[in-house]
């Protein structure tokens, strides 16, 4: 089904900035990653999306290709990111059929809600393997191609006639920043993903490759919100109150962040984490008590009462 351009890309980006470039994306048929790829293709690039479900991945590729006449989008299904050989084969096919790999997104992930008391060792390992090991395997499969691209499209800080290349991106979460119940498995996995990205930034920066992280917050109408949040009106209203901007994000806002990091505007950004969550992760310390509920109490202008003051008493 065709998606209107304004749903996945802001009007600020110039058409053609990714002309003749290739994006490799695991989890590329997902609700967020597909829009990242869609934005890239709309701006002139070609892409290869990877997934476990063959039908979903192939149909996803066909749909993404409709955003720009003449685009090439390959869907390679039946690939488990936990299997290095399968990923390497997919990366090699992408490079052979599309001419290389200039950009990559490690977007495959798994998640569910469970307290540690109900979280088996196998369930914990599964998420670690998909998120952390899968991200590592993705990086290993594409890094030789990204180094080659970075050498062709030098990261000098000056505008290059052939544009940019050699950019790697990981998708993370904020659970390990602030602590959150029911997410021990994902917090551990995403903490590992972050460190993999940081290490690549250090070790491959000298080759011209950049490695960064995008951390989405709750994004409307996505699998993440459906799996991790109650979607009845009252629950969603309460959830949005913990976000300083007072709303869920849009997939377009993650796609825009992706374009920024892949474009010349992001040439000097390396080893960084771009949190796109409306400021939610900064409210981790906001009180949940009825007396000082965030953000109502702050906006009321009322004084803090009913607790011991930090001021010295006057005797």
pTM value is 0.91
Which of 149-153, 193-197, 222-226, 280-284 has the weakest average pLDDT?
222-226
- Measured CA to CA, the distance from residue 297 to residue 201 in angstroms comes to 42
- Measured CA to CA, the distance from residue 204 to residue 250 in angstroms comes to 32
- Measured CA to CA, the distance from residue 298 to residue 135 in angstroms comes to 40
Which residues are within 8 A (CB) of 173 and not within 5 positions of it... i.e. 6 or more apart? 186, 187, 190, 215, 216
Which of 142-146, 150-154, 219-223, 275-279 has the weakest average pLDDT?
219-223
Confidence label for 161 from pLDDT (cuts 50, 70 and 90): confident
pLDDT, tens digit (0-9, with 9 covering 90-100), for 58-81: 999 999 999 999 999 999 999 999
- Measured CA to CA, the distance from residue 181 to residue 31 in angstroms comes to 24
What residue ranges define each of the domains in the chain, with the CATH number in brackets?
Answer: 13-286 (3.40.50.720)
pLDDT of residue 309: 46
Active site residue 172: yes
pLDDT of residue 310: 44
Nearest Cα residue to 218 out of 229, 233, 205: 229
pLDDT of residue 291: 59
The region, left, alpha or beta by phi > 0 then psi within -120 to 50, assigned to residue 173 is: beta
Query: Residues 135, 149, 172, 267: which is the catalytic one?
Result: 172
Q: How many other CB atoms sit within 10 Å of the CB of residue 301?
A: 6
Nearest Cα residue to 200 out of 265, 121, 137: 137
Which of 106-115, 128-137, 249-258 has the weakest average pLDDT?
106-115
Average pLDDT over the chain, rounded to an integer: 91
66: tokens are 């409709």
Task: Quote the distance between the C-alpha of residue 75 and its chain's center.
Answer: 19
184: tokens are 């021990």
- Measured CA to CA, the distance from residue 100 to residue 81 in angstroms comes to 20
- Measured CA to CA, the distance from residue 189 to residue 94 in angstroms comes to 27
pLDDT, tens digit (0-9, with 9 covering 90-100), for 287-310: 555 556 777 876 888 876 766 544
pLDDT of residue 285: 60
The answer to whether residue 281 scores a pLDDT higher than 50 is yes
pLDDT of residue 292: 60
pLDDT, tens digit (0-9, with 9 covering 90-100), for 222-237: 877 777 677 788 888 8
The answer to whether residue 154 scores a pLDDT higher than 80 is yes
Mean pLDDT of the region 119-134: 97
| Residues 264-287 as b or e (16 or more Cβ within 10 Å = b) | eebbeebebebbebbebbebeebe
pLDDT of residue 233: 82
CB 105 within 8 A of CB 36: yes
pLDDT of residue 290: 55
pLDDT of residue 180: 83
pLDDT of residue 78: 97
Active site residue 190: yes
pLDDT of residue 315: 44
Nearest Cα residue to 110 out of 168, 181, 40, 52: 52
Query: Residues 21, 34, 149, 190: which is the catalytic one?
Result: 190
Residue 168's DSSP bridge partners are 104, 211
The answer to whether residue 83 scores a pLDDT higher than 80 is yes
Mean pLDDT of the region 96-110: 97
Beta strands in 32-163 (DSSP E): 46-50, 73-76, 103-106
CB 43 within 8 A of CB 15: yes
Mean pLDDT of the region 268-273: 98
């Amino acid at each position: 089904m065709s998606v209107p351009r304004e749903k996945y890309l802001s009007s600020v980006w110039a058409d053609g900035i990714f002309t003749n470039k290739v994006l490799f994306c695991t989890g590329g048929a997902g609700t967020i990653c597909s829009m990242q790829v869609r934005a890239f293709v709309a701006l002139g690039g070609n892409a290869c999306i990877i997934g476990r479900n063959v039908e979903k991945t192939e149909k996803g590729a066909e749909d993404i290709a409709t955003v720009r006449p003449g685009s090439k989008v390959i869907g390679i299904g039946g690939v488990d990111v936990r299997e290095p050989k399968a990923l390497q084969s997919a990366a090699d096919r992408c490079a052979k059929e599309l001419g290389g790999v200039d950009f990559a997104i490690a977007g495959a992930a798994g998640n569910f809600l469970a307290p540690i008391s109900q979280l088996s060792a196998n369930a914990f390992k599964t998420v670690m393997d998909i998120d952390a090991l899968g991200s590592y395997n993705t990086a290993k499969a594409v890094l030789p191609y990204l180094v080659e691209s970075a050498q062709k499209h030098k990261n000098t800080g000056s505008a290059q006639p052939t544009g940019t290349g050699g950019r790697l991106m990981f998708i993370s979460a904020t659970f390990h920043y602030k602590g959150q119940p029911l997410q021990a498995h994902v917090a551990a996995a995403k903490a590992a993903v972050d460190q993999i990205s940081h290490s690549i930034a250090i070790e491959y920066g000298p080759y011209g490759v950049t490695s960064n992280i995008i951390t989405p917050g709750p994004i409307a109408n996505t699998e993440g919100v459906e799996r991790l949040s109650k979607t009845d009106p009252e629950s969603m209203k309460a959830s949005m109150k913990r976000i300083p901007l007072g709303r869920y994000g849009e997939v377009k806002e993650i796609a825009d962040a992706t374009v920024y990091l892949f474009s010349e505007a992001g040439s000097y950004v390396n080893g960084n984490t771009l949190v796109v969550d409306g400021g939610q992760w900064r409210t981790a310390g906001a009180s949940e008590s009825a007396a000082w509920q965030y953000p109502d109490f702050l906006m009321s202008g009322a004084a803090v009462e009913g607790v011991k003051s930090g001021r010295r008493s006057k005797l």
